[in-house]
Amino acid sequence: MQLAEIRKKTNPFSVFNVTMLVLALAVVTWSWESTQMSVSALLEGAHNMLAYIRGNPDIAESGFFPPDCNGAGLKRYLLSMLETVQMAFLALILSVAIAFPLAFGASRNTLEIIIPGKRFVPRMLRKLLYTGIRFFANLSRSINELVWALLFVSAVGLGPMPGILALGVHTSGVLIKLFSEGIENVQPEPVTALAATGAGPVKIIRYAVIPQITPFFVSMTLYRFESDVRSATILGFTGAGGIGVYLYDKLRSFENQEVTTILIVIIATVALVDRMSAVIRRRYA
């Protein structure tokens, strides 16, 4: 009986699996047709993309190659890229400061530690806190960083500050969701054991929850830092500082060789940040 049950559950051609496969294929087909996706159109138009990269032979320096690496321009782009990384770093500090404490209120298991009891009042407090924090997280991460940047530019003016605030608000919503999911997946045994000794909520979270989630928190925080560095390079399109200001300006003026130089600086910086993040991750693995 047990063997038959195992075979039934592991059968890849079960009714449920086949039904889900058919539904997935139907959704893919429907989406493909509705959005007018076409492989043939891409292949037929690929030469236009290559021609755009090569540039017009009748117009000097209209192509993307070779990149313009004159000293003054390169130095300016490197300094603006440094400003972009600084924006992402400050935004990360802001978002972690918001997300770390709120994540415990967005997790049902830690909410029961913070607000114990099965009476009406503690249950309602837990529900209100959970719903309110989840709503804030959904709101802040559902609105794109560019939209947040436009809002903050209208509030505080041009420069890096609106970019930092935009990234901080958006990333805080993402981290609340990620952190709370990590907290809800902790092993309950250490929590139960520490609670049995009479420890209070702060000690339970400090010694039973946080040690379990630290590697996950570090990994997610570093991942968001990498994402924020990439996002910060585009926020300059709204006037929110960083290398994106130069990228937008050069794209509009069709100075494509300088665009290539800026892209090389961005790619090299993102690769360096990714490498540094990998080293830190291994420390907490």
List the one residue out of 231, 229, 233 whose CA is nearest residue 241: 233
12 and 82 part of one domain: no
Domain at 188, CATH number: 1.10.3720.10
For residue 50, being part of any structural domain is answered with no
Least confident of 31-40, 56-65, 134-143: 56-65
Q: What is the pLDDT of residue 5?
A: 67
For residue 53, being part of any structural domain is answered with no
User: What does the pLDDT look like over 166-219, one tens digit per residue?
Assistant: 999 999 999 999 999 999 888 888 888 888 888 888 888 888 888 888 888 999
15 and 111 part of one domain: no
190 and 114 part of one domain: yes
26 and 140 part of one domain: no
Give the integer Cα–Cα distance in Å for 85 and 211: 29
C-beta separation of 95 from 175 below 8 A: yes
For residue 244, being part of any structural domain is answered with yes
For residue 180, being part of any structural domain is answered with yes
108 and 159 part of one domain: yes
Structural domain count of the chain = 2
3-state SS class at 197: coil
Its pTM stands at 0.83
For residue 279, being part of any structural domain is answered with yes
Distances in Å between the Cα of 274 and the Cα atoms of 225, 226, 230 are 9, 7, 11
For residue 264, being part of any structural domain is answered with yes
94 and 204 part of one domain: yes
C-beta separation of 260 from 65 below 8 A: yes
For residue 51, being part of any structural domain is answered with no
Residue 6 has pLDDT above 70, yes or no: no
Distances in Å between the Cα of 272 and the Cα atoms of 14, 215, 229, 275 are 47, 21, 11, 5
271: number of Cβ within 10 Å: 10
User: What does the pLDDT look like over 81-101, one tens digit per residue?
Assistant: 999 999 999 999 999 999 999
For residue 182, being part of any structural domain is answered with yes
- Percentage of the chain beyond pLDDT 70 is 96
> DSSP letter string over 120-155?
HHHHHHHHHHHHHHHHHHHHHHHS-HHHHHHHHHHH
Q: Which domain holds residue 234?
A: 71-284
Residue 246 has pLDDT above 60, yes or no: yes
85 and 195 part of one domain: yes
242 and 169 part of one domain: yes
Torsion sign, CA atoms 227, 253, 161, 163: negative
120 and 253 part of one domain: yes
134 and 178 part of one domain: yes
Residue 219 burial class via C-beta count within 10 angstroms: exposed 0-12, middle 13-18, buried 19 and up: middle
